[in-house]
């Protein structure tokens, strides 16, 4: 987690290079940190015919 723009740029450069060396691909997936998220969960039941409840 970073708080300043320069920290973000440094982290992207470092992590991208690490990913390139490990996986041959420097692409990254970045998510926004949510400090106090609420958890919402639902159940979905589906059958082989495309029906869902």
Instruction: Please name the helix (run of DSSP H) or strand (run of DSSP E) that holds residue 3, with its range, or none.
Output: none
For the chain, give every domain's residue range: 1-53
How many CA atoms are closer than 13 Å to the CA of 33, on its beta-carbon side? 5
pLDDT at site 14: 97
Structure tokens at 41: 């969960």
- What counts of helices (H) and strands (E) characterise the chain? 1, 0
- Is the pTM higher than 0.75? no
pLDDT at site 42: 95
Note whether 13 and 7 are within 8 A (CB).
no
Model confidence over 4-22: pLDDT tens digits?
Answer: 999 999 999 999 999 999 9
Model confidence over 18-51: pLDDT tens digits?
Answer: 999 999 999 999 999 998 999 999 999 999 999 9
């Amino acid at each position: 987690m970073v708080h300043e723009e320069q920290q973000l740029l440094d982290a992207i450069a470092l992590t991208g290079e690490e990913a390139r060396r490990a996986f041959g691909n420097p692409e990254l997936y970045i998510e926004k940190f949510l400090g106090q998220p609420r958890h919402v969960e639902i159940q979905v039941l589906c059958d082989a015919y495309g029906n869902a409840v």
